[in-house]
Amino acid sequence: MGLAIAQAAKKMGNSVVIAGRSQEKLAMAQKILDGVEAHTVDVRDEKSVKLFFDKVGAFDHLVLTAASFIMGPFLKLNTADVRSYFDSKFWGQYNAAKHGAPFIRKGGSITFFGGAASQKPICSFAFGSALNAAIEGLTRGLALELAPIRVNAIAPGIVETPAWDLMDKKERASVFKQAGDKLLTRRIGQPEDIAEAAIYLMHCGFATGSVLYVDGGDRLI
């Protein structure tokens, strides 16, 4: 999703900076994005995040998509694994917003990434529902505190990304088909759908404190 957002922003003529933990993934993204500026940073490490923003300097929009992903039964899942998930998705975005906000130019914005599970919990993902709800609360709180910087969040539903590549191809196709058939859109999401939502939140100067659900209507079913 991050790559699709960077592609969409670059296509519109914006200067794009990407960052992530994996140098290998960053190198691949740079080839696709025709050599955009890239930095290695671990959002779980506050010092690493601060150094990153000190290097980059002033910018307009901060979009935060970095996160690990786990699922498992509440009573059986290792608590340390859940804490690691929170460190990546919640505290990682928290760190980036804290150290990135002072560098955002007038008219700029922060876009967090939560998930539709905040509104529609699913089995073996109770902690994910709680985490995504926390991100939505942070979004609303910071929209007040950081104004006039605009702060919003995107809450995706099921989206076809490389995160699913660990699953067998046939099994993955079956999961996507079953999930898509149940949605109001009759298909699952694509990274480009999320990119359109991110571009909207970056460019709409009257949108702040908003959570944009891009879930094919799943929360309504």
pLDDT tier, 220 (very low <50, low <70, confident <90, very high otherwise):
very high
pLDDT tens readout for residues 139-198: 999 999 999 999 999 999 999 998 888 789 999 999 999 999 999 999 999 999 999 999
What was the pLDDT predicted at 81?
Answer: 94
* Residues contacting residue 16 through CB under 8 Å, at least 6 positions apart: 6, 9, 10, 33, 36, 37
pLDDT tens readout for residues 39-95: 999 999 999 999 999 999 999 999 999 777 888 999 999 999 999 999 999 999 999
How deeply is 62 buried, as exposed, middle or buried, from its count of CB atoms within 10 A (0-12, 13-18, 19+)? buried
- Asked if pLDDT for residue 125 goes beyond 80, the answer is yes
Distance of CA 215 to the CA centre of its chain: 14
How deeply is 169 buried, as exposed, middle or buried, from its count of CB atoms within 10 A (0-12, 13-18, 19+)? exposed
Strand-pairing partners, residue 153, are 112, 211
Measure the CA dihedral 142/206/211/150, to 10°: -30
- Asked if pLDDT for residue 5 goes beyond 80, the answer is yes
The span from the CA of 201 to the CA of 151, in Å, is 9
- Short-list 21, 30, 34, 6, CA closest to 202: 6
What was the pLDDT predicted at 35?
Answer: 80
User: What is the token pair recorded at 200?
Assistant: 């909207």
3 state SS of 105: strand
- Asked if pLDDT for residue 13 goes beyond 80, the answer is yes
Q: Residue 192 sits in which domain range?
A: 2-220
pTM attached to this predicted model:
0.95
Tell me the CATH number at 74.
Answer: 3.40.50.720
How many structural domains are present in the chain? 1
What was the pLDDT predicted at 178?
Answer: 96
Query: What is the residue whose two structure tokens read 């699953």?
Result: 167
- Asked if pLDDT for residue 19 goes beyond 80, the answer is yes
What was the pLDDT predicted at 170?
Answer: 93
What was the pLDDT predicted at 99?
Answer: 98
- Asked if pLDDT for residue 134 goes beyond 80, the answer is yes
What was the pLDDT predicted at 166?
Answer: 77
